[in-house]
Amino acid sequence: MRWLRSIYYDGLLFVANRIVSHIPSHFLRLFFYRHVMRFSIGQCSYIFMDAWFDTKGKDSFVMGHHSVINQRCRLDNRGTIEIGNNVAISAEVCILTADHDPQSPEFQGRVRKVAISDYVFIGTRALILPGVTIGKGAVIGAGSVVTEDIPEFTIAVGCPAKEIGKRSMQPFEYDAGYYRWFH
């Protein structure tokens, strides 16, 4: 019976990542993600084509209102990914929540939540590592590797990402979510 559950689970992830993520319809993809994968996705939020998820379940992936995840993003939600409102995640961003403990004699696997607060912008091909919290209004530069928490309103770039400035525009008055017909 356990093998049957494993086939169902792996089959569901295959359908989500290899079929549904390639359907050029936000409506159909969001329906599948909300009702089959049981993700919590807010109103006017979109996940563009070719997103890749690692698990299902209502607590594994939470996305607020008016947020967008652009195409070809890798979303390792085994340790939970929480995305706030008005968050813009650019193309090919990789968010990891699982890794291995290098100090463990068995190279033990571990999972740690990633939390991305409201009004965050993450540039193309950034990498967010397990256990990181990105504060409200922060900007992560393209290609940056975020290895530790980023404070509110911080502009961080590099490998590893380091603060280069502060964002001055507050309070924020924009919606980050946007709709494109065939993405």
Q: Any idea which residues carry the catalytic annotation? A: 100
Tell me, what amino acid is at 170?
A: Q
Half-sphere exposure of 90 toward its Cβ, with a 13 Å CA cutoff?
A: 14
